[in-house]
Amino acid sequence: METNYKNDIDAPLYKPIYETGKGFYVSVTILLAIVIWSAYMFFTQVAYGLGVTGMNQPVSWGFYIVNFVFFIGISHAGTLISAILRLSKAEWRRPITRMAEVITAIVLAIGGIHPIIDLGRPDRVLNVFTAGRLQSPLLWDVTSITAYFTASTVYLYLPMIPDIAKLRDKGGKLVWFYNFLSWGWHGSEKQRKTLNRAINILMVMVIPIAISVHTVISYIFSMTLQPGWHSTIFGPYFVVGAIFSGIAALLIVMIALRKVYHLENYLKEIHFKYLGTLLLIMSLLWFYFTFSEYLTGVFGNEPHEMDIIMYKFTGPYALFFWGMLVCNFIIPVVILSFKKFKKIPGILIASITVVIGMWLERLNIVVPSLANPRMNLPVGFYVPSLVEWSLFLGGIALFILGYILFSKFFPLISIWEIEEGREGVHEIKERIHSYMPDKNSD
Amino acid sequence: MKSKSKPTLSVDRSYFNRPVFIAQLVSLLLIWFLVIGIALWIKNLISLSLDFKDAPGVSIAISIVAVPIFFTLASVLTYVFIGLHKEEKKRFDNSGEMEQ
Amino acid sequence: MPKWTMVIDLNKCTGCGACMSACKMENNVAIVEPDEARDGRIMFWMDMLDEHEGEYPDIKAKWIPKPCFHCDSPPCTRVCPVHATYINEEGLVGQIYSRCIGCRYCMAACPYTAKVFNWYEPQWDDNFKKCFNPDVSVRMKGVVEKCSFCSHRLIVVKENAAEEDREIADGEYTTACAECCPANAISFGDIENRESEVFKLSKSTRAYKMMEDLGTEPKVIYLSYRE
């Protein structure tokens, strides 16, 4: 391809688009195989019925709902980093925003499919449109996830326009495609103003939408009468958990991409240090909410609630419950509190354990309340089947696949924002001066 | 540090490419269709809840919050589209060549 | 407007399970294979709770038939996303099988675990198919179902009453379980009708409802000397 991106100061950011190594083809093949396998498993479920899963009465919700909440939770990575950091003018967000926004877009799509996978009659999903009830928390979910998906896609797309224009100008591959998407951008003052205004509107809009998404997902549980679910803390608890798992997932993605695409110059120690601090704060916040939740339950000693709490503390789910506490609180706090451990390998371990721990938290919310029905009915059990494991793996594979494919067409780090940061040092200095008290003129 | 480098390739860069512009317009119209479709769907659900007397207040409250969000998103996209193209067309008309 | 209520006298109930079988036969409820049943997939519209207290030989056993309670403030209808479960003016909580999308939210929301799900396409032996009740639709896989207070019988009773231009008599519309209980432990009728048996029984000092404090207003009243 005749393009001289190599002379560009940001050449490493263009490299994945213009050069494709063997690793790409190998990973895409493997991931595609996993996705096709899980599609086949889903097909068997549609053909035979939900009986192929491990769900039963009373545990009528299992992996699909757990993964639904889990994937949508991870989508909060984009909003926190992109919108909140942009809003607070934190300059260190510049190399991170695009990666975060891409996570959100892909993971929302995957998470949004999960309730459909969970349906007994997915062929009737259009009944939601013809006969739906907006009174049902599930429909609140449909509305808010659609709103968030649309908003975050627009919020991903708009800041991509200047970069797409750069790719169009490089004149390598797919010029017509970049021309189509760049909407005639060429960086003039008026265009910049328009775009910045639009991004500002979006960045303020996207934050309440994102908070509403996970709050509304928590309402699916908290609007029922079931012990362990009917808790007023669920709204904020889920949002905090989502941001927590979102940051951890973002860190994993950043570390992986930094290794694979040699972005060491762009994703430096300091970015990980700052995000690591945020992860630590979220871990403490998450623990605060969890502690409140269980202290309230244990202190009240209401019999049905205690059944569920003991099921988690000492019963069949003890491993998952205490494992969750270790993964979400003990390991991250230990690693992230000490400078010695708070390097990239340590942060990677902390992030992986947080992602696992947050998945366990979703499991601990969904299954124990269902497995302990009232009225002295026998305690239920849940063993996920091959179909459910395959679809779980398929969801993860689809996410990684989507990400890799994105990196082939668009830069993973916002090139124009890096340029803006490089060139805007003077303005930033002025801004910081304006925070300090004014000097006396004489 | 060097200022940003502009590549100087001789690639045909006629920014105002008619078919591409029409494709962009069509995609924007599709987005409006989607948004209007969502509004119609929610209106359908509201009328259903009125028929069944099934707490219509909830449906109306949700629609008051949700529908404007979609319309705002579509409007922002339209604003950016018009803003970018207006400026671009003006420049293309002023001089057929590229300039900084 | 009638309000259909069931009264179950636990002091008469022997736990024989005739109500459970009658219900399955009457409503074409699917028969589930033994290993599936063991895995929690069994389908009982009328379930039987058994509670045992004490050690042998001083065991106190309680047998509690549990149909759907047809709550007046049903938690299940509130959460259904497609109007597939609903409560009608006569207090019957219905299920529209052809609209249900199988999300199982109502199953998760019911505090009494009254609903069951068709995890597979229901299968019947050819001989059993001869015993199908023609008044009740056969469900397909992937939908939720539950006790309907044999509302198909109500339709027939209403048609007869309309033809003969008269009111429905007390006891004319009754459920399969009430009809076949050998101990006459289950009574069914209209609690708005002050002459009805259920009304009189509901005034008993032994009367109580399950988990009333949840605010579900169940319409199945249990009579028992002890809780």
Least confident piece of the model among A303-317, B40-54, C77-91: B40-54
Tell me: pLDDT of A109 over 90.
yes
Distances, alpha carbon C215 to alpha carbons A178, A370, B84, in Å: 59, 20, 58
Least confident piece of the model among A14-18, A48-52, C94-98: A14-18
- Report DSSP state, residue C217: -
Tell me: pLDDT of A4 over 80.
no
Does residue A418 contact residue A94 with C-beta atoms inside 8 Å? yes
Q: CB C81 to CB A138 under 8 A?
A: yes
Closest Cα of chain B to C121: distance in Å?
A: 31
Upstream peptide bond of A58 is cis (omega within 30 degrees of 0): yes
φ, ψ of residue C4 in degrees (nearest 5): -75, 125
What is the rounded (10 degree) CA torsion for A173, A177, A182, A185?
60
For an interface test with B, the pick among A161, A186, A201, A215 (most B C-beta atoms closer than 10 Å) comes out as: A186
For an interface test with A, the pick among C42, C95, C113, C222 (most A C-beta atoms closer than 10 Å) comes out as: C113
Question: What is the reported pLDDT for A79?
Answer: 78
Tell me: pLDDT of A185 over 90.
no
Question: What is the reported pLDDT for B88?
Answer: 64
**Which residue in C75, C82, C104 is closest to A127 by CB distance?**
C82
Question: Measured in whole angstroms, how far is the alpha carbon of residue A227 from the centre of its chain?
Answer: 28
Question: What is the reported pLDDT for B2?
Answer: 40
pLDDT in tens, C123-158: 888 888 888 999 999 999 999 999 999 999 999 999
For an interface test with C, the pick among B46, B49, B53, B54 (most C C-beta atoms closer than 10 Å) comes out as: B54
Question: What is the reported pLDDT for B1?
Answer: 40
* Distance of alpha carbon A111 from alpha carbon A107, whole angstroms: 6
Percent of chain A with pLDDT over 90: 66
φ, ψ of residue C65 in degrees (nearest 5): -70, 135
- Mean pLDDT, rounded, for C101-108: 94
Q: CB B4 to CB A419 under 8 A?
A: yes
Q: How far apart are the first and last CA of chain B?
A: 20
- Mean pLDDT, rounded, for A6-32: 85
Question: What is the reported pLDDT for B91?
Answer: 62
* Distance of alpha carbon A388 from alpha carbon A64, whole angstroms: 7
Q: CB A201 to CB B41 under 8 A?
A: no
Counting Cα atoms < 13 Å in the Cβ hemisphere of B1 gives: 10
For an interface test with A, the pick among C43, C53, C119, C208 (most A C-beta atoms closer than 10 Å) comes out as: C119
The answer for B 74-93 residues in CB contact with A (under 8 A) is 76-77, 79-81, 83-85, 87-89, 91
Written as one letter, the residue type at A239 is: V
Question: What is the reported pLDDT for B16?
Answer: 61
Tell me: pLDDT of A324 over 80.
yes
Question: What is the reported pLDDT for A189?
Answer: 87
Q: Does C33 touch chain A (CB under 8 A)?
A: no
Question: What is the reported pLDDT for C57?
Answer: 86
pLDDT in tens, A295-306: 999 999 999 999
Closest by alpha carbon to A121, among A50, A211, A43, A28? A50
Does residue A227 contact residue A206 with C-beta atoms inside 8 Å? no
Query: Strand pairing of C4-9 and C220-223?
Result: parallel
Least confident piece of the model among A68-72, A436-440, C71-75, C94-98: A436-440
* Distance of alpha carbon A216 from alpha carbon A140, whole angstroms: 7
Going by C-beta distance under 8 Å and a sequence separation of 6 or more, which residues neighbour residue A33?
A: none
pLDDT band for position B3 (cuts 50, 70, 90) = very low
Does residue C69 contact residue C219 with C-beta atoms inside 8 Å? yes
- Mean pLDDT, rounded, for B41-53: 88
Question: What is the reported pLDDT for A57?
Answer: 87
pLDDT in tens, A200-257: 999 899 999 999 999 999 999 999 999 999 999 999 999 999 999 999 999 999 999 9
Element (H, E) at A416: helix A415-423
Query: Strand pairing of C85-87 and C93-95?
Result: antiparallel
What string of DSSP letters covers B3-37? PPPPP-------S--HHHHHHHHHHHHHHHHHHHH
Closest Cα of chain A to C26: distance in Å?
A: 22
pLDDT in tens, A25-61: 999 999 999 999 999 999 999 999 999 999 998 999 9
pLDDT band for position A188 (cuts 50, 70, 90) = confident
b vs e for A407-420, b when ≥16 Cβ sit within 10 Å of the residue's Cβ? beebbbbbbbbbbe
Going by C-beta distance under 8 Å and a sequence separation of 6 or more, which residues neighbour residue A417?
A: A94, A97, A159
Question: Measured in whole angstroms, how far is the alpha carbon of residue A284 from the centre of its chain?
Answer: 19
Question: What is the reported pLDDT for C180?
Answer: 94
Does residue A364 contact residue A327 with C-beta atoms inside 8 Å? no
Q: Does C206 touch chain A (CB under 8 A)?
A: no
Question: What is the reported pLDDT for C164?
Answer: 92
Region for A26 from its dihedrals, namely left if φ exceeds 0, alpha if ψ lies in -120 to 50, beta otherwise: alpha
More confident residue, C53 or A285: A285
Least confident piece of the model among A128-132, A230-234, C15-19: A128-132
What is chain B's mean pLDDT, rounded?
A: 77
Closest Cα of chain B to A12: distance in Å?
A: 15
- Mean pLDDT, rounded, for C4-14: 93
The answer for A 314-353 residues in CB contact with B (under 8 A) is none
pLDDT band for position B48 (cuts 50, 70, 90) = confident
Copy the structure tokens of residue A360: 């366990």
Find chain A residues with C-beta within 8 A of C213's C-beta. none
The answer for A 183-202 residues in CB contact with B (under 8 A) is 183-186, 188, 190-191, 194-195, 197-198, 201-202
Tell me: pLDDT of A396 over 70.
yes
- Mean pLDDT, rounded, for A261-268: 89
Find chain A residues with C-beta within 8 A of B15's C-beta. 179, 184, 186
Closest by alpha carbon to C118, among A56, A43, A138? A56
Distances, alpha carbon A154 to alpha carbons A206, A337, B59, in Å: 10, 37, 26
